[in-house]
Structures are given as structure tokens and as C-alpha cells.
Amino acid sequence: MRDQAERLREIINNLKKNQNNKNDLQDEVIDTTKTEVKSKSARIITITSGKGGVGKSNIAVNMSIALSNMGLKVALIDGDLGLANVDVLLGITPEFSMADILHSNKSIMEALCEGPGGIKFLSGGSGIEELAKLNKDQLEKFITNIGILDSYFDIIVVDTGAGISDNVISFVMASDEVIIVTTPDPTAIMDAYALIKVISARNKDKDVKIIVNRAENISEANNVLNKLVLVSDKFLQMKISPLGFVLYDESVVKAVKSQVPFLNSSPNSIASKNIRDITNNLINSSGYVEGGIRSSGIKSFINRVYNFFKS
């Protein structure tokens, strides 16, 4: 029996042959919800950091593209309520955001933008913060709308703000998996540990992985990874996993200035190789093998974020 994702893609591809307008994707995905194909749940991965300026959003963008290049359907949601900049890194200007889904009766598929490398992008804008203002009926309507993403996407990456604010922690604790990005800078390491400490106080079993960005060399990167793993285990009794590192690379700086993800502008660069290694580690981690971490899906994620905001 073909898996559910393959069946859904076949339905979408067949429908595409019979429609020739630019709203095809929206119509096709909505039509799939009327079929008898059993629903699935997308894997929710939140990428965050204890300190701003460590390259978190850049990691989120290029990881999403790398996952898409592996044949997965990927959506990227910008959940940074203060300094949303994923659209700048992608070089696109979204016409709609999550706020338009909440207040302008836009469908989730209308709000999604086409991103590079086959990914889809959703600007959170003020919409995520306004979840707390919804009543039960409004929340159910919103979840039904955004729940379409579960049927269409394999992985949904959520890029949060930095730090340990209530907004950031709500995304982190609502997610299936959390990736914390840090640099070798001592303040960044301390802030990453502070974030891990906050997470451990709420759930020591949370699946947390670490990426070191802008390391000068492999030895420095591994030293930071090992240090965070050891201190988290010793002082917090929490197991975290080293996911990999991205070495300092001038091509990344150039890509940011040109607003083109470095995985596309410099696919053979050191940073691009590092991102592909990280993505392979993620897919091959224990959470992705059969019987591993369960995928709760976007519906459950939004429900949990809502409950955190309300409390």
C-alpha cells in the first residue's frame, strides 16, 4: 500500500493537469480534504536560540531548503514576533500573513508564499500573538483552516524569536522537536544553556538538539557541542543531542546581502555542505526511524501554543 503522502501527491498532480490558473495549488489541496485519504500529521520542528544574532533564521531557511531537496514537502513559518526576517533572507515579500487568515477570511493556502527550493513560506506577523484573543469557535475555525497543512506537508519548520520570553517558550514547548542554534561566543553559549534550563524545568524529556553556527573550525564546534551536552546532563539531568555545525563561510555573508539562501547561491560551499550534513543527521536521528518520535501535527501545535498564551 502506498503511503498517505504519496497518495496525496498523486491526487494533487492529477488535479494539476486539469487546471491552468495560478490558484491551482489552493484548490487542489482543499479538494484533497474531501477525499477518503486518511489524514496524517506533519512533523513540527522549532528552531530557536538563546541569543539574537547567531544566524538562527538563516539556519532555518537553508535547512528547510535542504529538507525539500531530499524530496520532503516543507513549510517554513516565521514565528519571530519581534524581528521577523525570514522574508528578507528569502528575498520575497509576502502578500498575506497569518493575521489575514484570522481577520480577513483568507485560506491558509492563499497565505502561503512560494519559496526557493520548493518550500512554502508563511509569515506569522502579528497573527500568532493574536491567537490568545480568539474565542473557542474562532480557534476551531482557524485550526480547521491551518490544519490543511498536515495533509500536504511532511515537515513544518517554525522559526521563533530569540531568548526566553513567553512567546518563544510557548513555541518551543508546543513543538515535537526543538533545535537550538548557538555560536562559539561565550555569551551565546551561556544564553543557549539558559534556554535549555528553562525547557528542562518544564519537560526534561523534550527532544532538544544543538547546532553550532559560525565556528572557526571543527574542533571548536565539537568543543561547544560537547560542553553543552555535558553540562545539561550533569546539572539539569537532561539529555540533549548534538546535531552538527556550520563553519564560518564568506559565502553566507554574501548570500545574506544578496537575499538568496546560500544553499542555492553557493551549493558547493563549506556552509552548504555543513547544512546538508545537519539535515542528514536530522533525518537519520532516532526520532525519524519507525516507532520514533510521534508527529503531533500543526493542529495540536496551534492548540498547545494557544493554551500557553492563554495561561
Per residue in 83-141, pLDDT (tens digit) is: 557 888 888 888 888 878 888 888 898 999 999 999 999 987 655 667 767 777 878 88
Q: How far apart, in Å, are the Cα atoms of 291 and each of 15, 149, 241? A: 33, 23, 19
- Is the separation of the CB atoms in 47 and 59 below 8 Å? yes
Q: Please, what is the average pLDDT of the chain?
A: 84
Confidence class for position 286, pLDDT limits 50, 70, 90: low
Exposed e or buried b per residue across 245-283, where buried means at least 16 C-beta atoms within 10 angstroms of its C-beta: bbbbbebbeebbeeebbbbebbeebbbbebbbebbeebe
- Tell me the pLDDT tens digit for each residue of 17-47: 434 433 444 444 434 333 333 467 899 999 9
Confidence class for position 76, pLDDT limits 50, 70, 90: very high
Place of cell 520532503: 72
User: Is the pLDDT at 8 greater than 50, yes or no?
Assistant: no
pLDDT at 140: 84
Which architecture, in CATH terms, is 38-310?
Answer: 3-Layer(aba) Sandwich (3.40)
- Mean pLDDT throughout 192-213? 97
**Centroid of chain to Cα 149:** 13
Among 80-89, 106-115, 157-166, 252-261, the range scoring the smallest mean pLDDT is 80-89
Confidence class for position 288, pLDDT limits 50, 70, 90: low
User: Is the pLDDT at 81 greater than 90, yes or no?
Assistant: no
User: Is the pLDDT at 3 greater than 60, yes or no?
Assistant: no
Long-range CB contacts (< 8 A, 24+ apart) of 127-133?
A: 127/97, 127/98, 127/99, 127/100, 127/101, 127/102, 128/79, 128/81, 128/98, 128/167, 128/305, 129/81, 129/167, 129/309, 130/99, 130/102, 131/102, 131/302, 131/305, 131/306, 131/309, 132/306, 132/309, 132/310
| Per-range mean pLDDT, top range of 65-69, 92-96, 301-305 | 65-69
Domain-wise residue ranges, the chain: 38-310
Burial of 24 (0-12, 13-18, 19+ CB in 10 A): middle
- Mean pLDDT throughout 292-298? 71
Among 35-39, 120-124, 167-171, 173-177, the range scoring the smallest mean pLDDT is 35-39
pTM of the model: 0.84
- Mean pLDDT throughout 188-196? 97
User: Is the pLDDT at 232 greater than 90, yes or no?
Assistant: yes
pLDDT at 150: 92
Among 11-15, 162-166, 284-288, the range scoring the smallest mean pLDDT is 11-15
pLDDT at 291: 44
pLDDT at 93: 84
- Mean pLDDT throughout 240-258? 96
